[in-house]
Amino acid sequence: MRLLVEDLLVRFGGVRPLDGVTVAFDSGLCGLIGPNGAGKTTLFNVLSGFVRPVSGRVTADGTNLLALPPHRRARWGLRRTFQQEQVVTELSAADNLRLAADHLGGRDAGLLDFCGLDDPRRPAGELTLLERRRLELARALVGTPRIVLLDEPAAGLSDAESRALAEVVVAVPDKFDALVVLIEHDVALVGEVCATTAVLDFGRLITSGPTADVLADERVRAAYLGEGPS
């Protein structure tokens, strides 16, 4: 799976959260990093159809995603999670998942187990933060996911919890034959789990490529790590 974004321009009034972004994500687990307000979530919003770009192209193995309305993209296999939690606290984990599966017309067998949730009957409101993140990941995997966009799934988790969640995330590409794009502020975690990484800053792509090279790039260190060139 190759997700290709070309010349993407998004405007909100005078703001350009994406200002001519061209980037490719190739199969596996890809990182997407950048400072607050860099345009990461906006890129996910364009990919999933919540935001319409002024101009640009998005293709997934040749399919023109921008031509499809959001629900058709979901049926096609585009999945995402949100920075704000989406679980219904009154429903059990299993029912939360069923809701997503009904919506997408997909199956959910074995997903909670795969994501490390062992009691599907508990109300989501009683789950720990890590368990709710596991549930949200499961919701993003119902049916036949082809592209899975994860928007800071580890936000608020401890280092140990982040790694526990990441253990599941790294298994997704092979298990589902899907491309996963992970937005994550913990650069060390990105370095551990993402083979390739793209960096946004002020709506522009700074660089992308093998994660080790990207994280060593002085422009990235300057923009993202708050370090000037040495």
Work out how close the CB of 169 gets to ligand ATP at its nearest, in angstroms, rounded to a whole number.
18
Work out how close the CB of 5 gets to ligand ATP at its nearest, in angstroms, rounded to a whole number.
14
42 binds Mg ion (CB under 5 A): no
Work out how close the CB of 40 gets to ligand ATP at its nearest, in angstroms, rounded to a whole number.
3
Other Cβ atoms closer than 10 A to 151? 22
CA distance 147 to 3: 8
Stretch that binds Mg ion, among 35-43, 108-116, 130-138, 158-166 (CB under 5 A): 35-43
Burial 19-54 (b: 16+ CB within 10 A, else e): bebebebebbbbbbbbbeebbbbbbbbbbbbebebe
81 binds Mg ion (CB under 5 A): no
Roughly what angle, to the nearest 10 degrees, separates helices 159-169 and 129-139? Answer: 20
**Binding region for ligand ATP (CB under 6 A):** 12, 15, 17, 34, 36-42, 83
Stretch that binds Mg ion, among 34-42, 122-130, 155-163, 196-204 (CB under 5 A): 34-42
Q: Nearer to Mg ion by C-beta: 176 or 224?
A: 224
Work out how close the CB of 121 gets to Mg ion at its nearest, in angstroms, rounded to a whole number.
33
41 binds Mg ion (CB under 5 A): yes
Give the one entry of Mg ion, ligand ATP, none that residue 12 binds, where binding means its C-beta sits below a cut-off of 5 to 8 angstroms depending on kind: ligand ATP
Residue bearing tokens 């596991």: 134
Query: Taking a C-beta distance cutoff of 8 angstroms, is the pair 63, 215 a contact?
Result: no
In the chain, the amino acid numbered 228 is G
Work out how close the CB of 164 gets to ligand ATP at its nearest, in angstroms, rounded to a whole number.
22
Question: How far, CA to CA in Å, does 78 sit from each of 3, 56, 144, 171?
Answer: 11, 19, 9, 18
Binding-site ranges for Mg ion (CB under 5 A):
40-41
